[in-house]
Amino acid sequence: MADTLTPRELKTLMGASDVTLLDVRRRGDRESGPAGIPGAVWKDPEHVGEWSSELPKDRPVVIYCVRGGSVSASVLTALKARDFEVRFVEGGLAAWETRGSEKGE
């Protein structure tokens, strides 16, 4: 399985299965940026070791940050090390805002 998925693939996944969607933007980015993807729960990426044990392992986990870069990659690595089925959104919230949330996408 690829480590990433497109906004369109996320939208399809959200409609077809039970997925854990996590907003892992840094605190400052979250506080100064847009609201996020509907249904997502914010988790501080700097404390992944503390909150990862609370996640269900019986469904896929999808994470996103601002642009789908280093923050998502580091959280993905940490969660994979704990045996989670996890992927992150290519382009992050910025891509979701321009492509994933469009009607008909």
Q: Is the pTM of this model over 0.85?
A: yes
The per-residue pLDDT for range 6-54, each reduced to its tens digit, is 999 999 998 888 899 999 999 999 999 878 999 999 999 999 999 999 9
Which residue in 52, 37, 56 sits closest to 82, CA to CA?
52
User: What pLDDT is stored for residue 104 in this prediction?
Assistant: 44
CB 4 within 8 A of CB 88: yes
The per-residue pLDDT for range 61-84, each reduced to its tens digit, is 999 999 999 999 999 999 999 999
CB 63 within 8 A of CB 92: no
**What are the structural domains, with CATH classification, of the chain?**
4-100 (3.40.250.10)
